[in-house]
């Protein structure tokens, strides 16, 4: 979703508050356009919307406490390492002057109801429950937009992502569904009313326009065109709509390559966003659980990394056995284990055998030198190396980088063990 929302932001930035005649002529979705007056933002460059979304995504991935001060730190860090235009003038100056989140919080007047809290809320929508989404989007909103309208707009934007990612219904029902969620916590609603005409600076305007565009079209490029056709604050409309719609299996994912490839690709550009997106989807996936998504199946990482010359696989067989498999051009290593599901997504693995298979040599088998490992497993929707849909298993172990695998098939049996009958 991060690449797509950045494409929406960068494409929309060429049209932000531009003359309607300019928009009508150039809004073809066939390439980025240079904004007629904002010389500081070149074609394909994203703006504050994406930069602040990156900060929110990084904080979710970090699993650090979800507090205003920590989030404010992230906003300051993201800005200082990669200054860019697009921020409102006063906020830009403030970000330039403060050293950290505490100073930002001490000096900011957070009484705005503009779109700044909604435009960056998307990643929060990936969290597994509506309660989590409402809470996390409100906390991040209060840093800069501590008003009922500013907070509710952020919640609505995050809920749109949640509805799409968890496949909760047809897009025509998105607005009424958001109304029910926000009203359950005292919000005003009104998110199903269609937006018409130029989009102003208030957060609720951008979010309502984004929901309207998502309800009208069934392809991502059509949604992008509709967002920009409103005129006004359209980089934010497109950021909110594309972040959500990119997570919907009901929306044809047809963003032209000229927009995907033309997105800026500096240190925090396309490649960075792609990797951050994969980590974000992993860390927000539901914990595997006897009652929830299951780890049973054969999983491999080769489809997640383009041009990989090595492949790791893991199999969790329903009978309580399984194996890790590491293959390169010369040899395959297999670590067999017995596994047991524990509460809270944890899996206890007890290794049994280590097997080494080299082509042209007789296989080696020995006792495994490790006895046990405790892993945390998450299973959720993600994307593979060519942006295809994949079911992704994320395994985390203490003090190691999380490892990701895509589902190869769910009905794995011991017969798929590459070491076969060797014991
Ligand atoms: Mg912007």
In tens, the pLDDT along 57-80 reads: 999 999 999 999 999 999 999 999
Report, as an integer, the average pLDDT of 89-111.
95
Residues of the chain with CATH 1.10.4080.10: 2-283
Report the separation in Å between the CA atom of 49 and the middle of ligand 1, taken as the mean of its atom positions.
5
Report the separation in Å between the CA atom of 391 and the middle of ligand 1, taken as the mean of its atom positions.
32
Report the separation in Å between the CA atom of 236 and the middle of ligand 1, taken as the mean of its atom positions.
6
Alpha-carbon span 282 to 113, nearest angstrom: 32
Report the separation in Å between the CA atom of 87 and the middle of ligand 1, taken as the mean of its atom positions.
6
> DSSP class of residue 111?
B
Domain spanning 297-416: which CATH class is it, in words?
Answer: mainly beta
**From the annotation, which residues make up the binding site for Mg(2+)?**
47-49
**From the annotation, which residues make up the binding site?**
47-49
Here the tokens at position 311 are 């492949």
pLDDT exceeds cutoff 80 at 25: yes
| pLDDT number for residue 422 | 80
pLDDT exceeds cutoff 90 at 356: yes
Residues of the chain with CATH 2.40.128: 297-416
Other residues' Cβ atoms within 10 Å of the Cβ of residue 191: 29
Report the separation in Å between the CA atom of 60 and the middle of ligand 1, taken as the mean of its atom positions.
22
Instruction: For residue 299, give every residue at least 6 positions away whose Cβ sits within 8 Å of its Cβ, in sequence order, or none.
Output: 313, 314, 315, 316, 393, 405, 406, 407, 408
Report the separation in Å between the CA atom of 50 and the middle of ligand 1, taken as the mean of its atom positions.
8
Query: Residue 366: which pLDDT band, with cuts at 50, 70 and 90?
Result: confident
Report the separation in Å between the CA atom of 144 and the middle of ligand 1, taken as the mean of its atom positions.
15
| pLDDT number for residue 248 | 97
pLDDT exceeds cutoff 90 at 95: yes
Report the separation in Å between the CA atom of 47 and the middle of ligand 1, taken as the mean of its atom positions.
5
Report, as an integer, the average pLDDT of 259-267.
97
Report the separation in Å between the CA atom of 1 and the middle of ligand 1, taken as the mean of its atom positions.
17
Report the separation in Å between the CA atom of 86 and the middle of ligand 1, taken as the mean of its atom positions.
5
pLDDT exceeds cutoff 80 at 206: yes
Reported as half-sphere exposure (CB side, CA atoms, 13 A), residue 183 has a value of 11
Report, as an integer, the average pLDDT of 288-300.
91
pLDDT per residue as tens digits for the range 36-52: 999 889 999 999 999 99
pTM across the whole model? 0.94
Give domain 2-283's CATH architecture: Orthogonal Bundle (1.10)
Report, as an integer, the average pLDDT of 205-230.
97
| pLDDT number for residue 56 | 98
């Amino acid at each position: 979703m991060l690449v797509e929302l950045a494409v929406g932001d960068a494409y929309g930035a060429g049209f932000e508050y531009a003359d309607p005649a300019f928009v009508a002529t150039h809004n073809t979705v066939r390439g980025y356009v240079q904004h007629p007056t904002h010389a500081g933002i070149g074609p394909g460059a994203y703006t504050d919307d994406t930069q602040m979304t990156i900060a929110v995504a990084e904080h979710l991935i970090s699993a650090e406490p979800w507090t205003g001060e920590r989030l404010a730190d992230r906003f300051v860090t993201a800005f200082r390492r990669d200054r860019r235009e697009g921020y409102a003038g006063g906020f830009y100056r403030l970000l330039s002057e403060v050293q950290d989140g505490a100073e930002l919080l001490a000096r900011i007047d957070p009484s705005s109801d503009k779109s700044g809290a909604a435009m960056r809320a998307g990643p929060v929508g990936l969290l597994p429950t509506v309660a989590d989404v409402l809470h996390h989007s409100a906390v991040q909103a209060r840093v800069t937009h501590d008003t009922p309208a500013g907070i509710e707009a952020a919640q609505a934007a995050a809920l749109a992502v949640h509805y799409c990612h968890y496949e909760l219904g047809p897009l025509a029902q998105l607005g009424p569904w958001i109304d029910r969620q926000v009203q359950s916590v005292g919000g005003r609603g009104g998110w199903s009313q269609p937006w018409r005409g130029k989009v102003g600076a208030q957060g609720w305007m951008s979010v309502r326009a984004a929901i309207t565009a998502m309800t009208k079209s069934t392809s991502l490029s059509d949604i992008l065109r509709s967002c920009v056709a409103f005129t006004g604050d359209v980089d934010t409309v497109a950021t909110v709509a594309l972040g959500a719609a990119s997570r919907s299996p009901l929306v044809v994912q047809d963003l032209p390559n000229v927009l995907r490839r033309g997105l800026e690709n500096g240190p925090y550009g396309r490649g960075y966003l792609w990797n951050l997106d994969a980590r974000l989807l992993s860390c927000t996936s539901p914990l595997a659980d006897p009652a929830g998504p299951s780890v049973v199946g054969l999983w491999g990482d080769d489809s997640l990394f383009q041009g990989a010359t090595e492949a790791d696989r893991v199999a969790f067989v329903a009978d309580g056995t399984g194996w890790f498999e590491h293959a390169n051009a010369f040899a395959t290593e297999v670590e067999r284990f017995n596994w047991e599901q524990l509460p809270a997504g944890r899996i206890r693995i007890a290794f049994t055998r280590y097997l080494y298979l080299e082509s042209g040599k007789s296989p080696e088998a020995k006792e495994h030198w490790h006895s046990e490992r405790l892993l945390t497993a998450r299973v959720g929707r993600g994307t593979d190396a060519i942006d295809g849909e994949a079911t992704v298993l994320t395994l985390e172990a203490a003090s190691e980088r999380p490892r990701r695998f895509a589902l190869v098939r769910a009905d794995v049996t011991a017969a798929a063990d590459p070491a076969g009958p060797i014991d």
